[in-house]
Amino acid sequence: MQGTTRRTDRAFRAPRRRRLLDSLSARNPRSARTWAAVALVVTILTNVVTGAAGSGGVPVPELCAAAALTALSVVLLRRRVDRVGPLIVLAPLAGVLAIVWLDLVTRDASVTGQVFFIVPVVWAAAQLRVGGAALVTAATIAGEGVVVWTLLEPQRAVTDFAYLTVLLLLVSGVLNRSGAVQERLVEQLRQQASIDPLTGLWTRRVLDRATARAVERRAGEASLVIIDLDRFKTINDTYGHLGGDAALTHVASLLTGRCREGDLVARMGGDELAVLMLDCPRETAACRSQQFVDVVRATPLRLPDGTLVPLSISAGLASLSPTATRAEDLYASADAALYVAKRTGRDRLSAA
């Protein structure tokens, strides 16, 4: 019983951890990684130049900070984009620590010493999701507090801390809000490009990518069946375009209802649909494709006025083979099989 309880607790904690990690991650890891390295390098160069100008040489603290931030920049740029994840939030936090350390070592709480606190906040608000931006902003405000309360008189420390805190919060809030809106709009555009608005199936773009991956990786036994709705022009001419749309939606629903979770059902365009079946032996794929043909024949479309419209499909099936080295090869084989089915009387399956 205790073991079951512990497993349940872990099951509940896992989604929470994933949500937390997602909130700390970058909206665009590639862009975040690049701009993090740029921000660190700019901070390094500025500190080295100002330190050299002020003392006639590069002080040891600036050299230490430059070495540490340079190493972090190299690590970020060499790390694979898909493995950056929430670790990207360490870059601005390291920047905050470096700024605090340099200000304390050089006892510089002037405007030139404090202005660098804006850099990690601007970067985090522009690149990270809300959790990461909030964490970096809070760490920056805390670092600013350490500097001013350590180096300045209380009255001036209160004034500087209040002004910079308000500025950092405003910058973080405005930039993060703008980034969140942009991310939401991009996601909406991505969905519109991936989902066919009429049938709710995946688009040709998604099917092309999935088929190309299956062919390149030789992903087990994969098969592609291309499906054409028989006499679709006659349906449009008889029942209007709304009737044609209803027929496509009806067939799409029948196909989706008989597919596994890992199958990809897509609309290729017009009245042409496709199903990509991964990890499916050729014999099984042929049996399932025949079931698609049978269920469409056995399930006529019922129009709003009660009219029953008999439907049928022609299907062409092709499976991965040693000669299929590109997605185009699999498409060509399935398409050739489809035309055989149509030439030999429609309402049937033909396998390449």
E strand or H helix that includes residue 340: helix 327-343
Burial of 5 (C-beta count, 10 Å sphere; 0-12/13-18/19+): exposed
Spell out the residues 6+ positions from residue 33 whose beta carbon is closer than 8 angstroms to its own: 26, 76, 77, 79, 81, 84, 88
Q: Which residues lie across from 128 on neighbouring strands?
A: 26
Residue in 148, 15, 22 with CA at minimum distance from that of residue 88: 22
Positive or negative, the CA dihedral 129, 130, 136, 140 is positive
Backbone angles phi, psi at 121, to 5 degrees: -70, -45
Neighbours of 145 (CB within 10 A): 16
Q: How far apart are CA 61 and CA 97, in angstroms?
A: 13
Based on the number of CB atoms within 10 Å of its own CB, is 79 exposed (0-12), middle (13-18) or buried (19 or more)?
Answer: middle
Distance from C-alpha of 140 to C-alpha of 100, rounded to nearest angstrom: 9
Catalytic residue among 196, 228, 271, 347: 271
Torsion of CA 281, 284, 289, 290, to 10 degrees: 150
CA distance 61 to 39: 19
**Residue 22 known to be catalytic:** no
In the chain the beta strands, taken as DSSP E runs, fall at 223-229, 264-269, 272-277, 301-302, 308-309, 313-319, 349-351
List, by residue number, the catalytic residues: 271
